[in-house]
Amino acid sequence: MIRIGTKPTFCIVVAMCVLLLGQLGAPVSAEPAKISTPKPTDTNTKTLAPLRERFQSADVTEAPDFQKHVVPLLGRLGCNGRACHGSFQGRGGFQLSLFGYDFKSDHAALHEENCGRVDVDDIDESLILVKPLDADMHDGGKRFDKGSWQHHVLRKWIASGAEFNPNKMHLLEKLEVIPTEISFSKQRETVQLTATAHWQDGTMEDVTQLCRFSTNDESIAAIDELGEVTSGEKGDTHVVVYYDNAVVPIPVLRPIGPKRYAASEATTAIDRLVLEKLDKLGVAPSDVCTDAEFLRRVSLDMTGVLPAADFVREFLADTSPNKRATLVDELLDSPAYAAWWATRMSDWTGNSDAQLNNALPVRGAASRLWHEWLRVRIDQNMPYDQIVQGIVEAKSRQEGESYLEYCEAMTEACQRGNENLFAERDGLPLYWARRNFQKPEDRAIGFAYAFLGVRIECAQCHKHPFDRWSKNDFDKFSKLFTTVRASQNGIGADAKEQRNELIKQVTDGKKLDNGELRRAIYRAAAQGETVPFGELFVVKQRTVNKTLLEKRKKLIAKAKQNGKKVAPLPIPSGHILGESTAVPLSTDPRPALMQWLRSETNPFFAKAIVNRVWANYFGIGIVDPTDDMNMANPPSNTPLLDFLAKQFIHQKFDLKWLHREIVLSATYQRSAEPNETNRHDRVNFARHVPRRLPAEVVYDAVVLATGSDDKASQLRNEVDQMAIAEGLAQNRNKRDFAMEVFGQSIRESNCDCDRSDSPSLLQAIYLRNDADMHRRLSSDDGWVAQACESLGVDAPSNRIDPKKVATLRAANGLRKQILTKVRQFNQIPKVRQANTMPKVQREYQRAKSKFNQFGFDIPPLKKLLTNPNSWQKVELAKQDSEKATMTIDAVIEEAYMRTLSRFPDREETAIATDYIDTSTSKSDAVQSLLWALVNTKEFIITH
């Protein structure tokens, strides 16, 4: 449990992880590490020895292969790296493809006229031999020695004709790396990796010297350019091996403690798979968290809503053994669950007002419609694949709906409060209508982010450095998105006449230019008139392009003269990512794309959403970042991700099943209290790692904690007004300052990086000093005012009213004058007092009248004359304050319950009680207490 002291404190931690391609050597250890070595895949096929052995001699007869040997060797030598000829500008007038995966262009570059890189007539004058031998001539320095095996390979390739046939590419079936897993026992142990290429023609070859190597954490495992791995600190990571189009990660671990056998005690599959990994690492999991911690954690994670104080008391008092499971079911059925997860899915799918500005003729409606469409489906627990299908295969019109009926329905749905009418429609065509989603390339990138968890944009220009995707893969995939059209002005072929009629009605028959027409439509829509809406439609491509058509016409004309026939043009097509089967563009390609997404063999779709949901509950994905599922960034627990994805498909993509399975695991219910073995664990889920709440959740937590019971109850019952339900996101071009401070997703793209959960100094300043915070604390509709009323004191807001302060000063000034006159009267000899009494009585009556106007009472004149000191200084609080209904201890308990969702302990109660009792103003003290609690780490983070 995280405690607060007498003053709030903040801990701002910024952690950065940088992936670098490592080239670090290390001495050999005397004791070998424990390795996992598989059996040979084919004992009947002989593996070719490495090039280093085969090309030791200059008189070798074997001719190296350009794809298998020359290009990988140039990569190992660094020639096609970013810092050398692989850069976009090239180097020294010579450019190669980055990482050398465009064999055709690289071969052409080496043979370019007057380039001199390859000279088959004068082999030893070829610059790819001369420059790497001479450090003075070569900016990249000396890369190998004359007579070395590298020199022999390149020279022999040139001598054999320097050939390459792009039509006879070799297909690499797999790259086998041994060992498949490395377990070190101490520092500076070493293990040598061996990589064997398995080609489609059945040949096998040791290609270790041709591979590139990297490590995902050099502090745990360093790897040199020859593939030798050296152990470092305790923990686990991966080293990665690259060759041709293969990327192979190898797990490396160095146990933190002795092997454990906790997995045998697991009661769920999640716990077993997590504990099996922890057993290997010798890491002990933390104990199960308390009921108070679980209630607060799961409420905020699952619904984004801080639990009410009364609900906390009820849950903590419940003694039933299944109360956590019951709580989870209640949360999954709550409106906040659907609202919050619709917001999260809006992030991933790109729901952005800025990008939807021109998608509809009703301003500010598109984002609301999008969110409500998702919210209704999540509330109904529609299977995830069906939700995605409604997005991917979206159509503007319902079955049998005319264009006019479509426009009438959309005009009504766009009116504020009618979002449910849009949610009843089958599809979400707005997904395709964003301004930053119109080019096929942008759609390919955004689609891969949203539904595959893959960052494919690197392959737009070159081979992906950490995955198998080539530029050709990207180009074929992006073609699938060329046929979809979605804009405010686009319509189907049958809608032109009806659209013109609607425009005529809107413009009263006047001919307006584009800008004037758009404004006229906006005005009419705002008044509820039926206006023309754009449509999503598919342009079926039956020919390749105009250039090929022109060429074909010429060929046909020439063929007729010669009495020959011309073969028909191929139907334009695209390719599913990584698949060889073409999808024709003569029909809508989206159903085929959706069929691939939901297929059990799809390697990304189920894993992407499982990983994102997991990250929501743990602060980090099984793959992290969650939208970067590449081969060089493997899961921290591959069996766990595989299990969840497989079961998610088996459960027919049931999202509630997935949430329930995760949060009811012991893994999720771990305490944040670390032990000696898991203190530094961040990726293996041995304990709960506290993290800052998302922007919307923080904002709503502040509103609920500082608002009155009635206000908080209203918000919990009407979640559409809360930030978690996009209640503050009617226009993200004018985002709420607090949302911006706490890192709400800007949704410039649908990359997960658009949201930030990192702490910052500005967040601390907002919670401590922002005027918005002080308004909430001193609001007449706030909890502080409610608590002060319960204590029988005025709220702080009344004490700082300038008018009341001025009245108070005037009243006390008048009091001072009257007391002065009373004391003067008492000093007069009694024989003369009778003559002066009428004057004193007149002044007393005037003073009494003024005091009554001020809202205060004045003691009777007789009492003043007898005892002037009985008239105490006038305070701002009225004399007839209501009777207190709560004790100070009860107010303190309520403050803790509504902010930290737990009872205060004895020390905290004693500190708060002493502070309130000794304060000159109890109302100010109550306000300070709530302010301090909201400013604790315990309030702003999960725990």
Query: Comparing C-alpha atoms, which of 35, 69, 377, 73 is closest to residue 185?
Result: 35
pLDDT tens digit string along 711-763? 899 889 889 889 889 865 544 444 577 777 776 777 776 666 777 777 777 77
Query: Comparing C-alpha atoms, which of 254, 239, 235 is closest to residue 184?
Result: 254
pLDDT at 556 exceeding the cut of 80: no
Beta strands in 777-883 (DSSP E): none
What's 417-481 look like in SS3?
CCHHHHHCCCCCHHHHCCHHHCCHHHHHHHHHHHHHCCCCHHHHCCCCCCCCCCHHHHHHHHHHH
* Mean of pLDDT values over 126-142: 77
pLDDT above 90 covers what percent of the chain? 42
* Mean of pLDDT values over 785-803: 72
Question: Residue 639: is the preceding peptide bond cis (ω within 30°)?
Answer: no
Q: With the C-alpha atoms ordered 912, 913, 919, 922, is the resulting torsion angle positive or negative?
A: positive
> Counting Cβ atoms within 10 Å, is residue 389 exposed (0-12), middle (13-18) or buried (19+)?
buried
Q: 105 vs 68, 110, 616, 731, CA distance in Å? A: 16, 9, 44, 48
Query: Comparing C-alpha atoms, which of 780, 560, 685 is closest to residue 268?
Result: 685
- 520-538 burial, b at 16+ Cβ within 10 Å, e below that, comes to bbbebbeeeebbbbbbbbb
Among 35-49, 142-156, 702-716, the minimum mean pLDDT is found in 35-49
DSSP assigned state of 837: H
* Mean of pLDDT values over 683-704: 92
**Hey, what are 581's tokens?**
């089967």
Alpha helices in 282-322 (DSSP H): 291-303, 309-317
Please, which residues have CB within 8 angstroms of residue 942's CB and are 6 or more apart in sequence? Answer: 296, 297, 300, 301, 619, 688, 690, 691, 693
The per-residue pLDDT for 802 is: 59
**Relative orientation angle of helices 366-379 and 384-392, to the nearest 10 degrees:** 150
Q: What single-letter amino acid sits at 823? A: R
How far apart (Å, rounded) are the C-alpha atoms in residues 710 and 697? Answer: 20
Strand-pairing partners, residue 182, are 35, 252
Among 63-72, 438-447, 689-698, 855-864, the minimum mean pLDDT is found in 855-864
* H or E element at residue 48: strand 47-48
Query: Comparing C-alpha atoms, which of 672, 670, 646, 642 is closest to residue 657?
Result: 646
In the chain, what's the furthest Cα-to-Cα distance?
148
* Mean of pLDDT values over 872-883: 53
CB 885: neighbour CB atoms within 10 A?
Answer: 10
SS3 of 192, please?
strand
* Mean of pLDDT values over 650-656: 97
Pairing state of beta strands 212-215 and 204-206?
unpaired
Q: 507 vs 183, 361, 498, 518, 520, CA distance in Å? A: 76, 14, 14, 10, 7
pLDDT tens digit string along 80-98? 667 677 666 666 677 677 7
How far apart (Å, rounded) are the C-alpha atoms in residues 352 and 371? Answer: 10
How far apart (Å, rounded) are the C-alpha atoms in residues 281 and 684? Answer: 10
pLDDT at 897 exceeding the cut of 90: yes
SS3 of 325, please?
helix
Band of residue 26 on the pLDDT scale cut at 50, 70, 90: very low
The per-residue pLDDT for 860 is: 84
pLDDT above 70 covers what percent of the chain? 86
Please, which residues have CB within 8 angstroms of residue 246's CB and are 6 or more apart in sequence? Answer: 172, 174, 175, 197, 468
Q: Which residue has the higher pLDDT, 601 or 856?
A: 601
pLDDT tens digit string along 265-308? 899 999 999 999 999 999 999 999 999 999 999 999 999 999 99
For residues 39, 41, 47, 52, the Cα torsion angle rounded to the nearest 10 degrees is -60
The per-residue pLDDT for 9 is: 35
DSSP assigned state of 289: P
Under 8 Å between Cβ of 273 and 640: yes
How far apart (Å, rounded) are the C-alpha atoms in residues 126 and 876? Answer: 96
* Mean of pLDDT values over 313-317: 95
How far apart (Å, rounded) are the C-alpha atoms in residues 206 and 176? Answer: 9
* Mean of pLDDT values over 926-941: 92
pLDDT at 513 exceeding the cut of 70: yes
The per-residue pLDDT for 304 is: 95
CA-based angle 624:625:629, to the nearest 5?
80
The per-residue pLDDT for 208 is: 95
Q: What single-letter amino acid sits at 260? A: R
What's 568-583 look like in SS3?
CCCCCEEECCCCCCEE
pLDDT at 236 exceeding the cut of 80: yes
* Mean of pLDDT values over 247-258: 93
Query: Comparing C-alpha atoms, which of 851, 848, 846 is closest to residue 808?
Result: 851
pLDDT tens digit string along 168-177? 888 899 999 9
How far apart (Å, rounded) are the C-alpha atoms in residues 475 and 456? Answer: 11
In the chain, the N- to C-terminal Cα span, in Å, equals 7
Among 119-133, 462-476, 817-831, 847-861, the minimum mean pLDDT is found in 462-476
pLDDT at 583 exceeding the cut of 90: no
Among 236-245, 445-454, 761-770, 838-847, the minimum mean pLDDT is found in 761-770
The per-residue pLDDT for 778 is: 85
CB 838: neighbour CB atoms within 10 A?
Answer: 9
Question: Tokens 């590298």 sit at which residue?
Answer: 150
pTM, to two decimals: 0.81
Q: Which residue has the higher pLDDT, 320 or 559?
A: 320
Q: What single-letter amino acid sits at 484? A: V
Q: Which CATH architecture has domain 34-254?
A: Sandwich (2.60)
- Chain mean pLDDT for the chain: 83
**Hey, what are 751's tokens?**
């990359």
Secondary structure of the chain: what % helix, strand, coil (to 5)?
50, 10, 45
How far apart (Å, rounded) are the C-alpha atoms in residues 543 and 547? Answer: 10
How far apart (Å, rounded) are the C-alpha atoms in residues 537 and 588? Answer: 9
pLDDT at 20 exceeding the cut of 70: no
* Mean of pLDDT values over 232-236: 94
SS3 of 484, please?
strand
How far apart (Å, rounded) are the C-alpha atoms in residues 131 and 244? Answer: 25
Under 8 Å between Cβ of 858 and 851: yes
How far apart (Å, rounded) are the C-alpha atoms in residues 640 and 806? Answer: 68
The per-residue pLDDT for 269 is: 96
* Mean of pLDDT values over 239-266: 91
The listed range with the strongest mean pLDDT (9-23, 43-57, 360-374) is 360-374
Q: What single-letter amino acid sits at 227? A: G
Q: With the C-alpha atoms ordered 611, 346, 479, 583, is the resulting torsion angle positive or negative?
A: positive
Question: Residue 179: is the preceding peptide bond cis (ω within 30°)?
Answer: yes
pLDDT at 797 exceeding the cut of 70: no
The per-residue pLDDT for 800 is: 47
**Hey, what are 315's tokens?**
């849950």
The per-residue pLDDT for 13 is: 31
Question: Residue 859: is the preceding peptide bond cis (ω within 30°)?
Answer: no
Length of the chain: 943
pLDDT at 255 exceeding the cut of 80: yes
Under 8 Å between Cβ of 923 and 277: no
The listed range with the strongest mean pLDDT (213-222, 460-469, 812-821) is 213-222
pLDDT at 184 exceeding the cut of 50: yes
The per-residue pLDDT for 506 is: 84
Q: 335 vs 376, 448, 723, 761, CA distance in Å? A: 10, 30, 13, 33
CB 687: neighbour CB atoms within 10 A?
Answer: 24
The per-residue pLDDT for 426 is: 95
- 453: phi > 0 → left, psi -120 to 50 → alpha, else beta; which? left
SS3 of 854, please?
helix
